[in-house]
Amino acid sequence: MIDRSRLKQLHTLEEERFVARTSQSRELFEKAKGVMPGGVPMSWMTKWPGKYPLFVASAQGSHLVDVDGNEYIDLCLGDTGSMTGHLPEATVAAISAQLKRGMTAMLPTDDAVAVSAELARRFGLPLWQFTVSATDANRHAIRFSRLITGKSKIVVIDRCYHGSVDETFATLDASGATVMREGNIGAPVPLDVTTRVVEFNDLAGMETALKHGDVAAILMEPAMTNVGIVLPDNGYLKAVGELAKTYGVVWIIDETHTISVGPGGMTTELGLTPDILTIGKAIGGGIPTGTFGMTHEMASQISKKSEREVIDTGGIGGTLAGNALSLAAMRATLTEVLTESNFKKMIALGNRWCDGVEAAITELSLPWHVNRLGARGEYLFQSDAPRTGGEAARAGDFELEQYIHLRLLNDGFLLTPFHNMALMSPYTFQRDVDAHTSAFRVMCQELVS
Ligand SMILES: Cc1ncc(COP(=O)(O)O)c(C=O)c1O
């Protein structure tokens, strides 16, 4: 439906538009190339659309300003790291107060107790531990699962993402075997040694994977969010939980992105009972943090198998884990920013964004689909909702995505660089959403004309 040579022409125009309005970013990028590989602080940032990334001058609420003074409506929100909106007042106040009392001492503060109690109230798991990232929370959950079960393999969902966790960069090949994912850098061992991959929404596949008797844990998001959004079939998640119980496998749910459905994520929304729950990003209001919660049963088994004398060298840790600053940030973010009433507002905006995008797609008969996950919305390039990560990945269109992201960036909207996701914060305005809807419609019209 979209003429590819026209798409290339349109993209060239957007590249020119980008270069013409971002001279300060370009200048910084030229300097950056001399001191950072690819001119970016982290290699994947080369994926941002345009010949170089924007350099940020400031960000507040749902808006971001680059070093050239261009203002953007931020629908990326640090890929959920700033789902609270940039500089949420309560979090900033708590951080500012904590800065006068010390940042990290490798000892607990009273905030650790308050945050654990609040996490327990929200997610239903009684006991909590802290890390500096969601990646670390997942890594630690996997290690503890191996300790508890004495088994080695981890089951993950095809096309999942849980941070830079070695065991998760596996996929299914055409014959259904577990193989290394394309682009996996420096894997320590072949992935079929550590991992078994199953498709999302495939209960029979899950049972086959568990039947081998060598699985320590299932690590999964309750809805996939990193290959576009893939929603669970009715009853799928509870059935996975039952299978985990039947086969004596630890069920780990990663709510890092799916917290977009409400204060307790999909776990609370759907009444799920994981053994371990991991989360990071948004709950620190922008300050690095991660955490994992567990049942009393898990904690008691871990405790029986851990030795105090060597507990600091057991593969679980992080010098800055549980630091005073991130706990102060989490306490304020959880109790005053990511509240029930703010979620109501964010979810209403998420639906408004999805309605707007859906209306343009329908009007222009584009074979695209919009999926909703509370405050998060996403479109993908096939007409029906995907049921598996594999299906969603096959609907990917890198060339088209790069164009859309650059075009919308030039129009003043920041989307995640990875797929077509938009996220709402408590500081996002209805007019931000409506402005995106208008720009999106015009862009689609030009694409098909
Ligand atoms: C579901 C999920 N879990 C974990 C992570 C890792 O988060 P971080 O990079 O903050 O460690 C991500 C990052 O995108 C994620 O999407």
Q: Residues 204-212: contacts with CB within 8 Å, 24+ apart?
A: 206/155, 206/240, 206/243, 207/243, 209/155, 210/155, 210/243, 210/244, 210/246, 210/247, 210/249, 211/247, 212/153
Return the pLDDT at 145.
Answer: 98
Question: By CB neighbour count within 10 A (0-12 exposed, 13-18 middle, 19+ buried), where does 360 fall?
Answer: buried
Measured by CA distance, the residue closest to atom 2 of ligand 1 is 162
Q: Average pLDDT, stretch 228-251?
A: 98
CB of 260 closer than 8 Å to CB of 222: no
Cβ count within 10 A of residue 363: 11
Give the per-residue pLDDT at 377. Answer: 98
What is the distance in A from the centroid of ligand 1 to the CA of 21? 32
Residue 133 C-alpha to ligand 1 middle, in angstroms?
Answer: 8
Probe target for ligand 1 pocket from 45, 140, 167, 257, with the most ligand atoms within 8 Å of CB: 257
- Cβ of 162 below 6 Å from ligand 1: yes
Report how far residue 216's alpha carbon sits from residue 197's, in angstroms, rounded to the nearest whole number: 13
Does ligand 1 come within 6 angstroms of the Cβ of 163? yes
Other CB atoms within 10 A of residue 36 CB = 14
pLDDT in tens, 296-321: 999 999 999 999 999 989 999 999 99
Mean pLDDT, to the nearest integer, of 134-145?
A: 98
254 lines ligand 1 (CB under 6 A): yes
Question: Where does the pLDDT of residue 420 fall: very low under 50, low under 70, confident under 90, or very high at 90 and above?
Answer: very high
AA letter at 374: G
257 alpha carbon – ligand 1 mean position (Å) = 8
Handedness of CA 92, 93, 94, 96 (dihedral sign): positive
Residue nearest to atom 3 of ligand 1 (CA): 162
**Minimum CA distance residue for ligand 1 atom 4:** 162
The DSSP symbol for 361 reads H
Confidence check: pLDDT of 1 > 80: no
Question: Which atom in ligand 1 lies closest to the alpha carbon of residue 163?
Answer: 6
- What are the pLDDT digits (tens) for 71-81? 999 999 999 99
| Tokens coding 178 | 């577990």
Of 100-104, 268-272, 296-300, 313-317, the one with minimum mean pLDDT is 313-317
pTM above 0.95, yes or no: yes
- CB-ligand 1 contact for 280 (6 Å cutoff): yes
User: Which region, left, alpha or beta, applies to residue 418 given φ > 0 means left and ψ of -120 to 50 means alpha?
Assistant: alpha
- Kindly give the distance from the C-alpha atom of residue 415 to the centroid of ligand 1, in angstroms, as a whole number: 17
Q: How many residues are present in the chain?
A: 449
- Assess whether pLDDT exceeds 80 at residue 374: yes
What pLDDT score does 449 carry? 87
Q: How far is the CA of 117 from the centre of ligand 1 (A)?
A: 23
Res 395: pLDDT: 95
Residues ≥6 apart with Cβ < 8 Å to 156? 162, 167, 168, 170, 195, 196, 197, 198, 218, 219, 220
**Gap from CA of 393 to ligand 1 centroid (Å):** 18
CA 283 to ligand 1 center in whole angstroms: 12
116 — pLDDT class (breaks 50, 70, 90): very high
Q: What is the pLDDT of residue 298?
A: 98
- How many whole angstroms separate alpha carbon 232 and alpha carbon 269? 13
pLDDT digits (tens, 9 = 90+) for 210-220: 999 999 999 99
Measure 254 CA to ligand 1 centroid, in angstroms.
9
pLDDT at residue 200 is higher than 90:
yes
Distances (CA, A) of 418 to 104, 225, 372, 373: 33, 11, 17, 17
Cα of 413 vs its chain's centroid, Å: 19
So what's the pLDDT on residue 29? Answer: 98
Q: Is 253 in contact with 272 (CB distance < 8 Å)?
A: yes
DSSP string, 116-171: HHHHHHHHS--EEEEESSHHHHHHHHHHHHHHHH---EEEEETT---SS-GGG-EE
Share of the chain above pLDDT 90, in %: 98
Q: How far apart are CA 181 and CA 178, in angstroms?
A: 9
Other beta carbons less than 10 A from residue 1's beta carbon: 10
Residue with tokens 């959403």, as numbered in its chain? 433
pLDDT given for residue 418 in this prediction: 85
| CA 95/CA 377 separation, integer angstroms | 30
Determine the pLDDT at residue 342: 98
Q: Each residue of 3-34: pLDDT tens digit?
A: 999 999 999 999 999 999 999 999 999 999 99
Measured from the CA of 81, which atom of ligand 1 is nearest? 10
Average pLDDT over residues 92-100: 98
Ligand 1: centre distance to CA 162 (Å):
5
Q: List, as one string, the DSSP characters of 67-108.
A: TT--EEEESSTGGGTTTT-BS-HHHHHHHHHHHTT-S--SS-
Say what the pLDDT of residue 407 is: 98
Q: Which of 44, 138, 160, 161 gets mutated to test ligand 1 (max ligand atoms within 8 A of its CB)?
A: 161
